[in-house]
Structure 1
Amino acid sequence: MSTKQSTTAFLRDLLEKYSWVSTSSHSPELVTLVTTNAIPTTFQAAQLKGCIYELDAPIIEILNEIDLLRNAAASLDANMIRLKDIRRDYRAALSPIRRLPSEILIEILRHTPKEQTPQTTKEHYHVFGFNVFKISEEPCQLGQVCSSWRNAVEFLCPEMWSTLEIAWRHKLSKEKDCLIPAPKKDMPALLNRALECSQNHPLDFFFKCRGFHVHPSKQDDEPEEMSQCFDLLLRHSKRWGSTELAIVPSFLSRLSLIRGRVERVEDVYLMCAPNDMPGTIDALEIAPNLKTLDLTGMNAHARIPFPTENLISFSDTALLADQPTVPRYLEIIASAPNLSDFSYRQYGVIPRSTDPYRPQIVHRSLWTLSASFGGLLRSLVLPALTEMTLASVKHHDDFIECPRDVLFQLQALVIRSQCSLTALSFIDATMDENLLPILQLSPRLVSLSFKDKLWSRDSVATMESLIIKMTEAIHVGDSLHHMLIPCLE
């Protein structure tokens, strides 16, 4: 007898064994009691208990049979999954994708990586790549398809390895209430493999020290593995393209090793938290292709020379110095003919705006400006300016406002430059009587935003007046047109 026949016979016999259940019913005594709702006599109660006792045994027996069948089904299901996995592996070995010509395979692989953007990631960073320390991510994962794919990934697609994330890994604690360190074994070796596979392709990477977000009083020495990884990146500085560094002060001085060895670098985002080193950071002094420089946490007295001939975007957020620094930043604007985006925001007790620095600088390509110093605004003429942000910077728990006269200086800048703003943002700036004239000078304004941690009485009164003005409209044909900022979305 075959296995299928024996299984069928077993199941048939099992069902026939309990076929009597379908014809079973209640005893006449129970039917009478239920119908009359009478209280059972002693004799009737004994009969009912006897019936219950007689039913207990077959119920337990059927439950045992069900458990047996359930366990058998679970075992069969596990066996089926195992066989499907084996069958999938056999089919995978025959997959046509394994036989693709190398030139076609390379093109497929080159278009495989998913590019992250600030909108697709939770991290507030600028350079995104695959995590070097996670072998489950591309390109390591793609190399597991077969040997031809592995060879193509490792030797023929250097660009897949050239966009990296090098950051100390963390995982949830057992209690699921916090993140704890989860270092990967052989971290320098993993990074070195990626650097070798990237060959001579330009490197775009994000590097973050373990202690970057740790308060200085609680910082330990950076792990040796991260120090070795940083050294590896420094050795490949001639290949740097877009670079983002979130480092501790002890790493900052090591950047001097790459001076004159960053010919390819175009974008640099340098964050140091916090930095008390006032010396010279000359890593970018010879960087002829530098287009973007974003500095955060640098010491206000630090000297950071860099070329401005090709500079397009510049940003600096640092502790306010105890001496004027505006001239230094005006020199950057004046010497950067292609500059289109400039941000100069410092935290500290910002003084009242200084007098303008003569002569005023006329810059015809700068269209995005973020600042909090009236002295800077008074020294500029920006005909192309369309996006403006007045903002201070929050430092720990300090509350810092922009200078009280900064709106007046902005109004003067708009008049002097004869520019037409399309986007205007205020962050911790006291609103006053200069707000409405600024808006009246900006009929093409599309975006307007206000953020303030502590609204002053003057700001509240000004905002109330603004809301009233924004409701005023005139009839043009059959439609209403707002008189103030009609293009606002």
Structure 2
Amino acid sequence: MQNFLNNLQARTKTADFQRLLQSNERPTEAQIVNIRKTMLAEAMQRLSELHQVWETLQQIIDDCKTVVSPMRQLPPEILLEIFHWTIADQEYVDVFCIKSVPWTLGQVCRTWHEVVQSDPRLWSNLLVRGFSYDRNPPQEPLSMLKTALRLSKDRSLSIRCSFDCDNLLEMEKERNAIQEKWPNLYNPEEDNIITLNHRVLQLLVDNSRRWKNARFRVDDYAYLSMFNAAKGKLDRLETLNFGMIPGWIDDELIPTFDAFAVAPKLFNIELSRMGRVKPVLPYEQLFSARMEWCDRNVLEEHLVTLHEMPNLQEYDLDGFDYEMRELSEPGFIHHNALRVLHVCTPGALTNLVLPNLEEVHLKAASLDEICRFATLDKLPGLIERSGCSIRKLTLADVLESSDIIPVLERTPNLNELHVELNHWHYETDEFMAVVARYLRIRKDGREMPVALPRLHTLTMSVRGSPKWDIPFDLPISFLKKRMAEMIRDRWNIIDGSGVNRLKSVRIYVSVPSRYHIAPYDEFIAGIEELQKQGLDISIVIKAGHETLYGL
């Protein structure tokens, strides 16, 4: 190689070559042919050979680095800890997706495979998604599920499972009817997706004694009888989230559903859109319950259920029965243990007496105008009847500006106030302004008590999108100098005055464009120093995808 370079360089040092190189003189045809066919061609050939040598050497270097990589020298326990960090943000293992972790980690090498299979913690949170005709199963899906269950050993399981198959039942019913009349139209070996889903559920039920947290969504009443095989085996179950998406099966065919009737550690349940299904549950031992429904005229049923849950501390009623005013049985429903109430419609507030209620989370049905304007005015009645002391209040998507003051006047011991308007309405700005004015500390020389003297946490959040909500007709303008003064004055309250300092403030505003928010410079100028003084404050103002201000 060195001789070749010396020879080639010598040929470029000749007088003729140097003269052509240093001038703009045209070479002769003979000189062109000589340079192209000898010097240039030989140099390019050698360069190509060197490139190949470079690539070969680079591959050897990379392979050597791979072999001696520190990652290969890590002890299994360190490697396992890294794996746990890798899946820290992944709540569940997608059992039927070979590209998900930890399946992928186990395919890297034999050592990784052994490590992944050695720790049941990696396999104790399982996501099981049922199949449909437009979502084909992988090869050996039952084997994959059996493997995941085997690798979890005897560890308690968190299961998240859905058999919402989008009209699969109707298609299967029609197909079976046709096959019964013309049996030769179908291959008897053709995969039956519903049968596969049933076998998947059967495997899960076979391991029900290990269920700790279970979330199921099903669209076939036939699944309920399969669940019943778990009855009496649920000694570890602590949390249940169960939802129905009823199919074509007639109401009279609904089986008894008592799979979860015996579960000594079950304290938390969520039931979603159960329709006519009435599950048998250990209501008397529950601490928290959430009921979601979309049918009308069933709120009373969920309120009366309170009699069966004497130990219930948190109840979330998520439905749309805003018209209900009186129970079929005269009188109010009393419950002495309930501390936290989530409601979204006024009907839930008009028939309860809750003397130990401490938290109210009121979220109006955001897309229902009647509900947004007919809910808040029922809350004072609940508080007065109950004689309770509210410590935490969340108002989401209620827009009754004239009714907010009576509520705040009846919550003098309030510690936390969260006002969240997630769907734009033209009265949003006024609602926020009324809250801010009420919280101001008066400085006009008159002795007036401070509103909400126990308040230490405040959240005010406004979001809006003209694509889905009513278009903005005026800019948001509640971020003013006086609001900054309110925050500053409540932060500067002297200890020992009998009034709590404001310790935490969260303000979030998101509008479609700059036009939709009024100037807020005076507001910002009045609060920026408070963060340096120790106030836990966060302010985000966004217009579309642009962040206009962040603190």
* TM-score, reference length from structure 1: 0.70
Distance in 2 separating the partners of 1:61 and 1:436: 96
**Corresponding residue for 2:244?**
272
Q: Any idea what the Cα deviations from partners look like across 1:306-361, whole Å, max 9, x if unmatched?
A: 11344232112112244x44244343366241x333211124x6424335963442
Is 1:288 the counterpart of 2:271? The answer is no
2:390 counterpart (411, 420, 423): 420
Report if aligned partners of 1:430, 1:456 keep a CA contact under 8 Å in 2: no
Is 1:226 the counterpart of 2:213? The answer is no
Cα 1:131–1:403 change in 2 (3 A) is closer
Report if aligned partners of 2:380, 2:406 keep a CA contact under 8 Å in 1: yes
Report if aligned partners of 1:354, 1:375 keep a CA contact under 8 Å in 2: no
* Aligned-residue offset at 1:257: 2.9
Is 1:207 the counterpart of 2:161? The answer is yes
Structure 1 residue matching 2:326: 3-state secondary structure: coil
Is 1:262 the counterpart of 2:234? The answer is yes
**Corresponding residue for 1:186?**
140
* Aligned-residue offset at 1:191: 0.6
**Corresponding residue for 2:282?**
307
Cα 1:245–1:426 change in 2 (3 A) is same
Cα 1:423–1:240 change in 2 (3 A) is same
Distance in 2 separating the partners of 1:107 and 1:66: 52
Distance in 1 separating the partners of 2:71 and 2:294: 63
Distance in 1 separating the partners of 2:136 and 2:53: 38
Report if aligned partners of 2:146, 2:203 keep a CA contact under 8 Å in 1: yes
2:408 maps to amino acid: L
Cα 1:203–1:68 change in 2 (3 A) is farther
Structure 1 residue matching 2:201: 3-state secondary structure: helix
Q: Any idea what the Cα deviations from partners look like across 1:341-389, whole Å, max 9, x if unmatched?
A: 3211124x64243359634423345224234243455313153422412
Structure 2 residue matching 1:242: 3-state secondary structure: strand
Distance in 2 separating the partners of 1:16 and 1:168: 76
Report if aligned partners of 2:346, 2:376 keep a CA contact under 8 Å in 1: no
2:143 maps to amino acid: A
Where does 1:360-375 land on structure 2 (aligned, <5 Å)?
A: 360-375=333-348
2:259 maps to amino acid: A
Cα 1:463–1:18 change in 2 (3 A) is same
1:239 counterpart (191, 206, 210): 210
Distance in 2 separating the partners of 1:215 and 1:163: 27
Cα 1:414–1:342 change in 2 (3 A) is same
**Corresponding residue for 1:317?**
292
Segments of structure 1 that go 5 or more residues without pairing to the other structure are 1-5, 31-46, 122-127, 171-179
* TM-score, reference length from structure 2: 0.63
User: Which segment drifts farther, 368-377 or 238-247?
Assistant: 368-377
1:132 maps to amino acid: V
**Corresponding residue for 1:166?**
128
Cα 1:110–1:409 change in 2 (3 A) is same
1:480 maps to amino acid: D
Report if aligned partners of 1:164, 1:204 keep a CA contact under 8 Å in 2: yes
Structure 2 residue matching 1:249: 3-state secondary structure: coil
Structure 1 residue matching 2:416: 3-state secondary structure: coil
Report if aligned partners of 1:373, 1:402 keep a CA contact under 8 Å in 2: yes
Cα 1:56–1:240 change in 2 (3 A) is farther
1:79 counterpart (31, 56, 78): 56
User: Which segment drifts farther, 356-365 or 417-426?
Assistant: 356-365
Percent identical pairs in the alignment equals 15
Segments of structure 2 that go 5 or more residues without pairing to the other structure are 174-191, 445-449, 451-484, 494-499, 507-551
Where does 1:137-152 land on structure 2 (aligned, <5 Å)?
A: 137-141=100-104, 143=106, 150-151=113-114
Structure 2 residue matching 1:289: 3-state secondary structure: coil
1:354 counterpart (318, 323, 326): 326
Distance in 2 separating the partners of 1:162 and 1:202: 7
1:379 counterpart (339, 352, 356): 352
The number of residue pairs the alignment matches comes to: 428
**Corresponding residue for 1:331?**
305
Cα 1:153–1:461 change in 2 (3 A) is closer
1:308 maps to amino acid: Y
Q: Any idea what the Cα deviations from partners look like across 1:433-481, whole Å, max 9, x if unmatched?
A: 222221343653342112346x477x77656655665677548999534
